[in-house]
Copies of this chain bind each other. A is one copy, B any other.
Amino acid sequence: MKRCVVLCAGAIGPGALARCAPAPDDLLIAADGGYLRARELGLVPDLILGDFDSAPAPDDPRVVRYPVRKDDTDSLLAVKEGLARGCGRFVLLGGLGGRLDHTLANLQLLLYLKDRGADGVLLDDRHTVRVLRDEAWTVERFAGYLSLFAMAGDCRVTLTGMEYPLEDHLLTGAYPLGVSNRVREARGTVTVRDGALLAVEYREFEDEREER
């Protein structure tokens, strides 16, 4: 399944880039100011989309310019384009941090993708964020926290191999019970039913790791 890598306008650090490792057969889309990130990183996008209301549009034949007055965010335009070109896996870089509303919109995009049978992750140097819906996910142990949030309504969650296990627990959007868990075994499993879950991995850097 072809992968789409979307470069958004936020910071894109070396850790995020290494975990994603853009490859020649990815569809690489720069969303608006994301083309500046591409340039900084020496990446050549296949397509540059956006309304260019905050960054000037580059003089480039790969630019597709949208009106400023539109319903979709630049990230959503990029994701729609990726879906239209047959991509089933999405990585969004530079889409976390900065304006909170942009971050929240990008989280909702993960659910938008899920609705269309595709999977997406948001990456920065610290975070990997994904949506799970009516499915089981296996996560290798890593140094850092795994936090889980009910998304777009309640869901039922079972956790194994974790510091705080759960058994078919009803997680709601009005009580952040799933914050700061850790994978304790070699791998943990997160099983979600009757709804969607936002899974946020937060990596600790070497010098921050607790002795355990």
Contacts and interface: CB of A to CB of B under 8 A. Distances in A.
A91 B202 CA distance: 26
B147 A111 contact: no
Interface residues of A, number: 43
B104 A176 contact: yes
Counted per complex, copies of this chain come to 2
A136 interface: no
B147 A101 contact: yes
A76 B127 CA distance: 23
A196 B105 CA distance: 16
Nearest to A181: B101
Interface of A: 71, 73, 76, 96-97, 99-106, 108-109, 111-112, 114-115, 126-127, 129, 145, 147, 149-154, 164, 172-177, 179-180, 196, 198, 200, 202
